[in-house]
Amino acid sequence: MRKLGISGKLYGNALLVLVMILSMGAIIFKNLLNIEKAAKEMTERDKYASICLEREIDHLKWEARLETVFLEKKLHVDIQTDHKLCELGKFIYGKDGQLISSRDKIAANIITSMEEPHKNLHDSAISIFNVLAKIEKDTTEKEADLIRNEAYIIFKGNTSPALTQLQSKLHALGENMKTKNAEARKKLFEAVRISIASLVIITLAAIVVSLILNVLTAKSIISPISQISKTAQLIASGNIYSAKLAIEKLASYLGRKRKPGSAAIHQSDEISILITSITSMTENLNSLVSQVQKSIIQTATSALQIASSSKEQEVTVTEVSVSTSEIATSSEEIAATSRQIVISMNGVAASFNHTAEFASRGNSNLNEMHLAMKQLAAATESIYSKLSTINERGKLISDVVVTMTKITDQTNLLSLNAAIEAEKAGEYGKGFSVVAKEIRRLADQTAIATLDIAKIVKDMQSAVSSGVMEMDKFSEDVRKHVSGTSSTISHIEAIMKEIQSIHSIFNNVVEESKQQAEGAKQITEAIVQLSDAARQAAESLREFNEATRQLNNTTQTLRKEISIFNIGTEQDS
């Protein structure tokens, strides 16, 4: 227990209590799961018991409806005759029946034994309806009564016994469910009692264990803390020697003796660390007080030496101040000359910038003209292409005109033949003769118009051919000018590069001139600051002399104050 630190003890206590609480929670959780499972099974059994009762009532109603065929002398009533499709059949052969059979062997046997009487019950209804089906319209009343009596015998001999047997099975299944629920209820109450008892026992155990651990932890902390407090009071009063003796007693807490002046004892718990820290602090304070006493003597001697040196430095600083004033005057004249050079260089730079700007604009205009020439060359190529296309289309039109001329000749010939045939027809061909003449006249006009078109197309082809030749010549001239413009732009761009290079160099010269002027200005300011610093240094030396005197007085005061500490020198002697 002692090897553990305060935090380890507290964490250990908390961990132990937490383990107990988790154990309690695990037990209670397991019991709750069992309770939940038992409650679900009880609920299902209650549901199935209710289903058994409902199915029993349903079959009693079913029997009553079947009996109406005898009481009211009907041939058929609307009842379910398929034993698997009625509600009980769905229960027996469905999921609910399989679930009950898988959980309870007794219930499984009861359900299996219900299948035969249930089937016989529904089969008897089918037999009754088959017998009653023998009654027809021409059947006499006496024969009908005999048939009904035969069906009634089936009802009393098969239906009622099967229903009675089925009711007993349903009743037995319901009682089995109730018995299982009673047993499950006892287990449920037992699980609840165990959960409550576990909760009470583990809670009490956790409280008792926590109290015991807390008492032991508090006891292991309070005793060493009380001794450490007394040691701290001795150190606060200046009795360092007695504090060193008290530390030897504190070392016994760590389980071994510690000799004065030995290295600090390293442990992992907080109390040991605190004792080690108090020990180290006492030794350091003892060493500090001893060192301070020695340093006081050295400080007094150094103060006298400093006072002598500061007077010599005061004379030197005064001489430096006079020299810096003369240098400041010369540096101001250099700065003025540098500023004048910078002004002149700025004027030259402005003129050079204007020249570079004009050259740049000229280069931009040439680029725009070069672009326009390229666009013009592209346009002439397009026009040349379109004129060539027009020339080709003209040739096609000429071919069409030749074809039209041939057609006109053929039409003229056909109209002549038609006129001849009309003349041969005599009176009957007069109308056709007029039409043939009109066709020949139209063919002559078409021939004339075709010749005009041919002439126009020929003139157009001649003009287009001339335009193509002229455009080709113009396109060649444009290409030559574009090539010349490109060469001119290349030369101007080379000139621009040289101008930009010179401009960059010139800017560097201007910038260096500005930097030189700025440097001269900074030198002047530095000299002025140096002069001010020299005057301030002289003033500081005077203040330093005063501080040296105060240091000597403080040293004497410190010697009186440090004398209250008892570091064991007298006892050791």
Whether residues 11 and 153 fall in one domain: yes
Dihedral over alpha carbons 551, 557, 561, 562 (to 10 degrees): 50
In a domain, 16, yes or no: yes
Given a contact cutoff of 8 angstroms between Cβ atoms, the answer to whether 83 and 50 are in contact is: no
pLDDT band at 141 (very low <50, low <70, confident <90, very high): confident
Structural domain of 522: 332-533
* Residue 244 burial by Cβ neighbours in a 10 Å radius (0-12, 13-18, 19+): buried
In a domain, 562, yes or no: no
- Cα R_g (the chain), whole angstroms: 66
∠ CA 564-565-566, rounded to 5°: 115
Q: Report how far apart the first and last C-alpha atoms of the chain are (Å, whole number).
A: 43
End position of a domain, from candidates 161, 187, 218 = 218
Q: How far is CA 167 from the centre of its chain?
A: 67
Structure tokens at 339: 């500023």
Give the residue carrying structure tokens 């003892």. Answer: 286
Per-residue DSSP letter, 268: S
> CA-to-CA distance for 326 and 319, rounded, in angstroms?
12
What is the pLDDT, as a whole number, of residue 189? Answer: 82
Tell me what the pLDDT averaged over the chain comes to. Answer: 76
Which among 151, 77, 163, 156 has a CA at the least distance from the CA of 119? 163
Check whether 291 has a pLDDT greater than 70.
yes
What is the pLDDT, as a whole number, of residue 22? Answer: 84
> CA-to-CA distance for 170 and 164, rounded, in angstroms?
10
> What pLDDT digit, counting tens, does each position of 359-415 carry?
677 777 767 777 877 777 777 777 778 777 877 777 777 777 778 778 878 887 877
In a domain, 153, yes or no: yes
What is the pLDDT, as a whole number, of residue 311? Answer: 66
Say which residues have a Cβ less than 8 Å from residue 93's Cβ, sequence separation at least 6.
84
pLDDT band at 573 (very low <50, low <70, confident <90, very high): very low
Whether residues 56 and 185 fall in one domain: yes
Structure tokens at 78: 């609307």
In a domain, 363, yes or no: yes
Structure tokens at 383: 């026009």
Mean pLDDT of the 281-301 span: 74
Q: Which amino acid is at 522?
A: Q
What is the pLDDT, as a whole number, of residue 236? Answer: 74
Max Cα distance, the chain (Å): 181
> What pLDDT digit, counting tens, does each position of 66-123 carry?
888 888 888 888 888 888 888 888 888 888 888 888 888 888 898 888 889 999 989 9
Whole-model pTM: value is: 0.35
> CA-to-CA distance for 408 and 419, rounded, in angstroms?
16
Structure tokens at 385: 């292409």
What is the pLDDT, as a whole number, of residue 266? Answer: 46
What is the pLDDT, as a whole number, of residue 63? Answer: 86
Structure tokens at 84: 């698997």
∠ CA 311-314-315, rounded to 5°: 100
Angle between helices 141-154 and 6-71 (to 10 degrees): 150
pLDDT band at 263 (very low <50, low <70, confident <90, very high): very low
What is the pLDDT, as a whole number, of residue 265? Answer: 47
* 3-class DSSP state of 139: coil
Structure tokens at 266: 């390293």
> CA-to-CA distance for 53 and 172, rounded, in angstroms?
11
Check whether 3 has a pLDDT greater than 60.
no
End position of a domain, from candidates 199, 218, 237 = 218
Number of other CB atoms surrounding residue 532 within 10 Å: 12
Whether residues 186 and 44 fall in one domain: yes
Per-residue DSSP letter, 4: S
What is the pLDDT, as a whole number, of residue 328? Answer: 66
Among positive and negative, which fits the CA dihedral 476, 481, 485, 487? positive
> What pLDDT digit, counting tens, does each position of 180-220 carry?
888 878 887 887 888 788 778 888 887 888 788 777 777 76
> CA-to-CA distance for 450 and 453, rounded, in angstroms?
5
Write the CATH number for 395.
1.10.287.950
Higher pLDDT, 212 or 339: 212
End position of a domain, from candidates 166, 198, 218 = 218
What is the pLDDT, as a whole number, of residue 161? Answer: 92
Question: In Å, what is the CA distance from 514 to each residue of 345, 507, 527?
Answer: 9, 10, 20
Which among 131, 151, 129, 148 has a CA at the least distance from the CA of 140? 148
In a domain, 294, yes or no: no
> What pLDDT digit, counting tens, does each position of 493-542 carry?
777 777 667 667 767 766 776 776 677 677 777 767 766 776 776 677 67
Residue 260, φ and ψ in degrees, nearest 5: -60, 135
* 3-class DSSP state of 549: helix
* 3-class DSSP state of 239: strand
Number of other CB atoms surrounding residue 307 within 10 Å: 17
Task: Give the number of domains in the chain.
Answer: 2
Per-residue DSSP letter, 567: -
Question: In Å, what is the CA distance from 35 to each residue of 29, 41, 100, 181, 201?
Answer: 10, 10, 20, 13, 20
Number of other CB atoms surrounding residue 149 within 10 Å: 11
- 45-49, 228-232, 258-262, 468-472: least confidently modelled range: 258-262
In a domain, 362, yes or no: yes
What is the pLDDT, as a whole number, of residue 149? Answer: 92
What is the pLDDT, as a whole number, of residue 503? Answer: 66
- 122-136, 330-344, 393-407, 545-559: least confidently modelled range: 330-344
> CA-to-CA distance for 295 and 303, rounded, in angstroms?
12
Per-residue DSSP letter, 310: H
Whether residues 13 and 143 fall in one domain: yes
What is the pLDDT, as a whole number, of residue 153? Answer: 92
> CA-to-CA distance for 146 and 225, rounded, in angstroms?
116
Phi-psi region of 181 (alpha: psi -120 to 50; beta: other; left: phi over 0): alpha
Higher pLDDT, 394 or 267: 394
In a domain, 286, yes or no: no
pLDDT band at 313 (very low <50, low <70, confident <90, very high): low
Given a contact cutoff of 8 angstroms between Cβ atoms, the answer to whether 35 and 298 are in contact is: no
Given a contact cutoff of 8 angstroms between Cβ atoms, the answer to whether 481 and 373 are in contact is: yes
pLDDT band at 314 (very low <50, low <70, confident <90, very high): low
In a domain, 154, yes or no: yes
> CA-to-CA distance for 512 and 375, rounded, in angstroms?
48
* Beta partners for residue 566, in sequence order: 239
Given a contact cutoff of 8 angstroms between Cβ atoms, the answer to whether 61 and 13 are in contact is: no
What is the pLDDT, as a whole number, of residue 262? Answer: 47
